Amino acid sequence: MRAVLVVNPEATSTSSAGRDVLAHALASQTELELVETRYRGHAADTGSRATREDFDLVVVHGGDGTVNEVVNGMLDTEPTRAEKRPSLAVIPGGSANVFAGALGVPRDPLEATHRLLHAVEQRRGRWVGLGRANGRWFTFNAGVGIDADVVAEVERLRDSGRKVTPWLYARAAMACYLSSIHCEPLLTVHVDGEDPVTGGHAAMISNADPWTYLGPRAVHTNPETSFDTGIGVFVLRSMLPHAVSRHVAQMLRDRAKPHGKTLFRRANTGHVRVVCQEPLRVQVDGDSLGELSTIDFESVPNALHVVE
């Protein structure tokens, strides 16, 4: 089995020692190539090359952004042999590791490595569905509005030298909320032939559950959504404190399904179009796509084979 290990040395919880242990373990069962990312897009280039050169497995040791890059590189490249793309495996190395968590991969990198070695030995894996936003693949979530504003703000703070922590995300979320509380709703959401939903302040799209993590606590927008269903949509129709606080409390409960008059929510949909009266920020898997006016989200079943 030919495998490439993609390591983001700048990810929150990666280390040279952990990289070496992981590489040594994988090399015992595969013909392994190690790639450390050195520039934005390097992970995508590696995923693309692994597809063209008929690698069997791409292992990502990094955060959700690195996983997203690799997946886009793999799936946007035509394989040399028809229908022969590499499988993907993830060893958590970021701060949230949402995709890995949704797959059931242990948070501890050593435990995750041990599990991966068993899966490789037993040729164990499964197909998962993914989402696309205007053609860009995402593995677990995407959004328009305040969550994309939070992503952009965290990226700005990280570029200025701040360490990414749950506390930093919480501070960024509060600042973005306070700046948007009196803004007019600008979103119209179209879901699978239903009547348009107007008056939206933010739209959150999920491809799996949880939608994200706040430290160790899972955040649920569409608990019914999984890699085996269509995508879910969660639209906030009020930014008033009592409405937002109620929905945040619902999202943080383990089994509750968010609901209320100021919320529109659907699960297992095939297509969602979000139209903005003026360009708003968009994010996929925690990576900012900039400002857009119309975004088409679609569910793609059985898009990626994962080893877990």
Amino acid at 58: V
Q: Which residues span the domain enclosing 102?
A: 2-124
Q: How many domains does the chain have?
A: 2
Q: Give yes or no: residues 164 and 251 share one domain.
A: yes
Q: Give yes or no: residues 79 and 182 share one domain.
A: no
Q: Give yes or no: residues 50 and 94 share one domain.
A: yes
Q: How does residue 167 score in pLDDT terms, banded at 50, 70 and 90?
A: confident
- Of 93, 124, 155, the residue at which a domain comes to its end is 124
Q: Give yes or no: residues 147 and 286 share one domain.
A: yes
Q: Looking at residue 245, what is its pLDDT? A: 93
Q: Give yes or no: residues 181 and 290 share one domain.
A: yes
Among 202, 213, 204, 210, residue whose Cα is nearest residue 164? 213
Largest distance between two CA atoms of the chain: 58
CATH of the domain at 50: 3.40.50.10330
Q: How does residue 52 score in pLDDT terms, banded at 50, 70 and 90?
A: very high
Q: Give yes or no: residues 153 and 280 share one domain.
A: yes
Asked, for residue 129, whether it belongs to a domain, the answer is no
- Of 57, 91, 124, the residue at which a domain comes to its end is 124
Asked, for residue 130, whether it belongs to a domain, the answer is no
Asked, for residue 305, whether it belongs to a domain, the answer is no
Given a contact cutoff of 8 angstroms between Cβ atoms, the answer to whether 269 and 230 are in contact is: yes
Q: Is the pLDDT of residue 82 over 60?
A: no
Q: What is the spatial distance between Cα 179 and Cα 301, in angstroms, rounded to a whole number? A: 37
Q: What is the spatial distance between Cα 233 and Cα 141, in angstroms, rounded to a whole number? A: 10
Asked, for residue 131, whether it belongs to a domain, the answer is no
| pLDDT (mean) for 171-197 | 92
CATH of the domain at 181: 2.60.200.40
User: Which pLDDT tens digit goes with each residue over 204-215?
Assistant: 999 999 999 988
Q: What is the mean pLDDT of the chain?
A: 93
Two structure tokens written together for 212: 């994200």
Q: Looking at residue 278, what is its pLDDT? A: 96
User: Which pLDDT tens digit goes with each residue over 7-27?
Assistant: 999 887 888 888 898 999 999
Q: Looking at residue 158, what is its pLDDT? A: 82
Given a contact cutoff of 8 angstroms between Cβ atoms, the answer to whether 8 and 35 are in contact is: no
Q: Looking at residue 3, what is its pLDDT? A: 97
Q: Give yes or no: residues 82 and 192 share one domain.
A: no
Q: For 77, phi and psi rounded to 5 degrees?
A: -120, 130
Asked, for residue 35, whether it belongs to a domain, the answer is yes
